[in-house]
């Protein structure tokens, strides 16, 4: 069945060739302690690690007494997070010692989703997972098995496993997060930029919330820059914490950011506020852009987005005056509209026009981190279909990320081919993908579903086999390269700071064991230490630095990376006009179409972050639960008065796909035509004890639309009605 196409060096040879012995234990020894505190009983230890309460991976020092983690402190040498550990980072202790953690492998014994489980030994669990994967591969081809993984240092092993098993069907959290933004910037600059917030003099932040949705170092750098005189202008239909600290807040009509950006360009070009030499040298398409933005007058934009014409003109002039130390902040999550790629491309174009690129205070090119990939040669499977199950539905999908919502539709239809197995690691689509009804049906369509998690998430709740993983404070991870604008291009590693509390297994160990059972063991024939040595093979000083400081910095170039270099675009320049889009039948420059209108007594439902929670994965954390015990629906006073709704009332929120009952918070912090609620509450799972019967699940209500270029989910396209529930 499988032939080793193109494999010239086996995995074992690869590690041998590099002079590394194979055969070390799966888990290496405990991290060397960084400092033994001078207390007489010497039972205190401090260990470096990297926070895993969100993707930022802030450097930390764990204070351990008698084998118990008592405190997590920021690592002062970790420049990317500017020596910060946020509320969630501090609450990592409550994740480690959470009584709701999974402690044994569990097999479903009742109906799917009924919650009847039986403990089974690890060997039996792994035998079963391997047997079922083999059955599915035989019956439906290797592509008949889907693999989904969230943001994590071990995610690369899920991808590696999926590929050697033979499936192209791999989805990540990214198609629920940022891929439309990635597309828009990539197709302008040829890469996805970082933002030099620290050195900026003027920042327009639209559709992002850096003082609650923490991204390091941008969140801290923005505060520092503002103290140094940087102006912050926020466009958000909600009065977020970022809006509260900004110089200006404009409650923009949702879905109209593109026309605002086009009007900025109208003024910048009309008033010749750009540097013609820079534009001529670095960009292509200025004539076409000039012609294109003529129609987008400040008045036309004001009529659409609700921001006064004079403000649009003034902001354009101020932004241009501060250029190139200014920016339209690129944002992070862009899973909002069906035309999000084009919306974000309009952000990219304003920056390109002003030359806010590759220079202090603007957008920055990627730096050299220096970490090496560890290559592998997956076998070839002749019986496989030609492509991913979600292929050819949108023109700009990322091959390696796919689209979760398109994949789910394909699974439900069984077209173009059936998918009957699902392996899920550290991601929770039953909470974080819109239209939960479909996710439930998707789980039900599976012949076998395995979930590797630390708690009984809603996704685990729907599985056949649930495998308990160690938390980040108990496990060894590969190294990871991180970038954060000027702050750093650095490498971190993670080692256990305490012995694992339960008989958990990291996903690396799980996949290695399954690979052995499927006679694919040669592709996992290495220990984590050996893997890390391979990653660090170009950085001879890195391991010492990691042991000494908890972080390794690559002193690479920050600015002027593109001096004398061509851009990775079709024209080899920054593309104001995108020829490839023209060839694909897409608009080569963003064309504004108004968002769907919101009927009377209806609202647009938007999503967004709270500084105390990470998506749906920390609502049940004991420390954070005290801060945010349930979710509420934000509703403007005028809308509330119309329907006789008060703060604390329970309402029914209904969309075209589902509904939920939730308490209301009447607040002026939101536009009259918009409502908002947090994700992660109203769980299906009975294994999350603190949030049982708390709040509603927004995944039940959100429609599952997607960006028509990238296939990224579009989660601000849902219109809802809100009606007061009369107490029985």
Ligand X SMILES: Nc1nc2c(c(=O)[nH]1)N[C@H]1C(S)=C(S)[C@@H](COP(=O)(O)OP(=O)(O)OC[C@H]3O[C@@H](n4cnc5c(=O)[nH]c(N)nc54)[C@H](O)[C@@H]3O)O[C@H]1N2
* Binding positions for Mo ion, rule: CB under 5 A: 177, 333
**Contact window for ligand SF4 (CB under 6 A) among 52-60, 104-112, 313-321, 332-340:** 52-60
User: How many residues of this chain bind ligand SF4 (CB under 6 A)?
Assistant: 13
Return the number of the residue (606 or 645) whose C-beta is nearest ligand X. 606
Q: Is 428 in the site for ligand X (CB under 6 A)?
A: yes
Residue 471 within binding range of ligand SF4, rule CB under 6 A = no
Site for ligand X in 312-341 (CB under 6 A): 331-333, 335-336
- The verdict on 79 binding ligand SF4 (CB under 6 A) reads no
DSSP 318-334: HHHHHTTSEEE---S--
Burial of 376 (0-12, 13-18, 19+ CB in 10 A): middle
Give the closest residue to 185 by CA, choosing from 43, 365, 61, 60. Answer: 365
Q: Which listed option, Mo ion, ligand X, ligand SF4, none, makes contact with residue 679 (CB within 5 to 8 Å by class)?
A: ligand X
Angle at 370 between CA 369 and CA 371, to 5 degrees: 100
Would strands 650-654 and 718-724 be described as parallel, antiparallel, or unpaired? antiparallel
Q: Is there binding between residue 81 and ligand SF4 (CB under 6 A)?
A: yes
CA-closest candidate to residue 320, choices 257, 260, 265: 265
Q: Is 333 in the site for ligand SF4 (CB under 6 A)?
A: no
Q: Which of residues 247-306 bind ligand X (CB under 6 A)?
A: 252, 254-255, 257
- The reply to whether 85 sits near ligand X by the rule CB under 6 A is no
Three-state secondary structure readout of 401-428: CCCHHHHHHHHHHCCCCCCCEEEEECCC
CA torsion through residues 532, 93, 46, 64, sign: negative
Shortest distance (Å) from residue 615 CB to Mo ion: 7
* Three-class secondary structure of residue 368 per DSSP: coil
Query: By CB neighbour count within 10 A (0-12 exposed, 13-18 middle, 19+ buried), where does 646 fall?
Result: exposed
Q: Which residues contact residue 597 at a Cβ distance below 8 angstroms, ignoring those fewer than 6 apart?
A: none
- 153 vs 252, which CB is nearer to ligand SF4? 153
Does position 183 interact with ligand X (CB under 6 A)? The reply is no
Going by the DSSP 8-state scheme, the letter that residue 198 receives in this structure is G
Residue 88 touches ligand SF4, criterion: CB under 6 A:
yes
Q: How many CB atoms lie within 10 A of CB 476?
A: 26
Tell me the closest approach of the beta carbon of residue 311 to ligand X, in angstroms: 14
- Nearer residue to Mo ion within complex by CB, 46 or 172: 172
Question: Of the candidates 82, 201, 420, 426, which one interacts with ligand X according to CB under 6 A?
Answer: 426
8 A C-beta contact, residue 432 and residue 405: no
| CB of 72 or CB of 670, closer to ligand SF4 | 72
H or E element that contains 293: helix 286-293
Residue 57 or 359: the one with the smaller Cβ distance to ligand SF4 is 57
DSSP percent split of the chain into helix, strand, coil, nearest 5 = 30, 20, 50
3-class DSSP state of 22: coil
Identify the CA nearest to 680 among candidates 391, 397, 457, 376. 457
Q: Which lies closer to ligand SF4 via its Cβ, residue 58 or residue 487? A: 58
Q: Identify the residue among 54, 264, 635, 639 touching ligand X (CB under 6 A).
A: 54
Name which of 583 and 593 has its Cβ closer to ligand X.
Answer: 593
Instruction: Fill in the per-residue mask, 126 to 165: x = in contact with ligand X (CB under 6 A), - = not in contact.
Output: ------------------------x---------------
Q: Can you read off the two tokens belonging to residue 195?
A: 């933002």
> Please, are residues 513 and 524 in contact by the beta-carbon 8 Å criterion?
no
Question: Which range binds ligand SF4 by CB under 6 A, 46-54, 123-131, 570-578, 598-606?
Answer: 46-54
CA 189 to chain centroid, in Å, comes to 21
Binding flag, residue 57, ligand SF4 (CB under 6 A): yes
Helix (H) or strand (E) holding 145: strand 145-149
Report the residue from 31, 49, 79, 89 that binds ligand SF4 according to the rule CB under 6 A.
89
Residue from 62, 64, 86, 691 in contact with ligand SF4 (CB under 6 A): 86
> Is the Cβ of residue 171 or residue 569 nearer to ligand X in the bound state?
171
User: Judged by CB, which is closer to ligand SF4: 169, or 471?
Assistant: 471
Spatial distance between the Cα atoms of 238 and 608, rounded to a whole number of angstroms: 10
53 binds, among Mo ion, ligand X, ligand SF4, none (CB under 5 to 8 A by kind): ligand SF4
Give the range of 314-322, 401-409, 469-477, 491-499 binding ligand X by CB under 6 A.
Answer: 469-477
Number of residues that bind ligand X (CB under 6 A): 61
606 binds, among ligand SF4, ligand X, Mo ion, none (CB under 5 to 8 A by kind): ligand X
* Nearest distance from C-beta of residue 454 to ligand SF4, angstroms: 15
Structure token pair of residue 17: 């060739």
Q: How far apart are CA 693 and CA 684, in angstroms?
A: 9
User: Contact region for ligand X (CB under 6 A) — 233-241, 269-277, 531-539, 651-659?
Assistant: 233-241
Residue 640 and residue 665: Cα distance in Å, rounded?
Answer: 9
Q: Which of 63, 160, 523, 609 binds ligand X (CB under 6 A)?
A: 609
If you ran DSSP here, which 8-state letter would residue 150 be given? -
Q: Taking the complex as a whole, how short is the minimal distance between the CB of residue 616 and ligand X, in angstroms?
A: 4
Q: Please enumerate in sequence order all residues whose Cβ is within 8 A of that of 113, keeping only pairs 6 or more positions apart, or say none.
A: 440, 443, 444, 461, 462, 684
Is 177 or 492 the residue whose CB approaches Mo ion more closely? 177
Burial class (CB in 10 A: 0-12, 13-18, 19+), 352: buried
Q: Which residues bind ligand SF4 (CB under 6 A)?
A: 51, 53-54, 56-58, 81, 85-86, 88-89, 214, 216
Q: Which residues bind ligand X (CB under 6 A)?
A: 52, 54-55, 150, 173, 176-178, 206-210, 212-215, 235-238, 240, 252, 254-255, 257, 331-333, 335-336, 425-428, 431-432, 452-455, 457, 469, 471-472, 606-609, 611, 613-617, 679, 698-699, 702, 715-716
């Amino acid at each position: 069945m499988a032939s080793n196409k193109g494999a010239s060096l086996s995995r074992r040879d690869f590690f041998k060739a590099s002079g590394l012995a194979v055969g070390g234990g799966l888990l290496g020894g405990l991290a060397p302690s960084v400092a033994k505190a001078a207390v007489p009983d010497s039972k205190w230890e401090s260990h470096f690690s990297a926070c895993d309460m969100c993707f930022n991976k802030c450097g930390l020092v764990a204070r351990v007494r008698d084998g118990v983690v008592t405190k997590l402190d920021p690592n002062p040498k970790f420049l990317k997070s500017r020596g910060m550990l946020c509320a969630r980072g501090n609450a990592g202790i409550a994740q480690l010692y959470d009584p709701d953690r999974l402690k044994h492998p569990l097999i479903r014994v009742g109906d799917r989703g009924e919650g009847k489980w039986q403990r089974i030994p690890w060997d039996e669990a792994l035998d079963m997972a391997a047997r079922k994967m083999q059955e599915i591969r035989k019956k439906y081809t290797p592509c008949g098995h889907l693999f989904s993984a969230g943001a994590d240092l071990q995610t690369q092993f899920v991808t590696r496993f999926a590929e050697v098993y033979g499936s192209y069907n791999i989805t990540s959290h990214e198609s629920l997060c940022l891929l439309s933004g990635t597309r828009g910037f990539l197709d302008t600059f040829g890469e996805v930029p970082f933002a030099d917030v620290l050195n900026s003099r003027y920042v327009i932040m639209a559709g992002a919330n850096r003082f609650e949705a923490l991204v390091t170092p941008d969140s801290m750098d923005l505060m520092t820059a503002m103290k140094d005189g940087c102006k912050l202008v926020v466009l958000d239909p909600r009065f977020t914490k970022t809006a509260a600290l900004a110089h200006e807040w404009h409650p923009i009509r949702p879905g109209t950011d593109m026309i605002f950006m086009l009007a900025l360009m109208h003024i910048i070009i009309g008033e010749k506020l750009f540097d013609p030499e820079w534009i001529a040298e670095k960009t292509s398409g200025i004539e076409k852009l000039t012609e294109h933005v003529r129609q987008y007058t400040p008045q036309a934009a004001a009529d659409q987005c609700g921001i006064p014409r004079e403000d649009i003109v003034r902001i354009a002039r101020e932004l241009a005056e501060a250029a190139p130390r200014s920016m339209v902040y690129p944002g992070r999550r862009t899973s909002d509209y069906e035309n999000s790629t084009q919306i974000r491309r309009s952000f990219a174009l304003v920056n390109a026009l002003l030359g806010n690129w590759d220079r202090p205070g603007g957008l920055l090119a990627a730096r050299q981190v220096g970490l090496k990939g560890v290559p592998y040669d997956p076998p070839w499977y002749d019986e496989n279909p030609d492509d991913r199950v979600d292929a050819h539905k949108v023109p700009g999908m990322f091959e390696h990320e796919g689209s979760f919502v398109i994949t789910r539709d394909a699974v439900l239809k069984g077209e173009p081919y059936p998918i009957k197995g699902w392996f899920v690691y550290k991601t929770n689509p039953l909470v974080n993908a819109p239209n939960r009804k479909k996710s439930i049906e998707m789980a039900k369509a599976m012949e076998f579903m395995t979930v590797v998690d630390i708690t009984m998430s809603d996704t685990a709740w729907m599985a056949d086999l649930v495998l308990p993983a160690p938390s980040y404070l108990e496990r060894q991870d590969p190294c990871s390269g991180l970038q954060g604008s000027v702050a750093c291009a650095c490498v971190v590693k993670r080692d256990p700071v305490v012995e694992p509390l339960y008989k958990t297994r990291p996903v690396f160990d799980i996949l290695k064991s399954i690979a052995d059972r499927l006679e694919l063991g040669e592709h996992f024939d290495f220990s984590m230490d050996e893997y890390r040595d391979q990653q660090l093979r170009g950085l001879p000083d890195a391991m010492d630095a990691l042991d000494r400081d908890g972080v390794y910095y690559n002193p690479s170039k920050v600015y002027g990376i593109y001096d004398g270099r061509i851009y990775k675009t079709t024209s080899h320049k920054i593309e104001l006009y995108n020829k490839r889009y023209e060839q694909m039948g897409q608009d080569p420059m963003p064309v504004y179409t108004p968002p769907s209108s919101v009927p009377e007594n209806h609202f647009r439902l938007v999503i967004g972050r709270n500084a105390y929670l990470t998506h749906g994965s920390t609502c049940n954390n004991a420390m954070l639960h005290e801060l945010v015990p349930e979710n509420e629906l934000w509703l403007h006073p005028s809308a509330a008065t119309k329907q006789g709704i008060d703060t604390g009332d329970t309402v029914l929120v209904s969309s075209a796909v589902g509904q939920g009952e939730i308490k209301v918070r009447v607040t002026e912090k939101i536009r009259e035509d918009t409502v908002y609620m947090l994700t992660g509450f109203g769980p299906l799972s009975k294994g999350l004890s603190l949030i049982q019967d708390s709040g509603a699940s927004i995944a039940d209500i959100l429609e599952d639309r997607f960006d028509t270029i990238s296939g990224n989910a579009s989660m601000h396209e849902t219109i809802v009605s809100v009606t007061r529930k009369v107490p029985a």
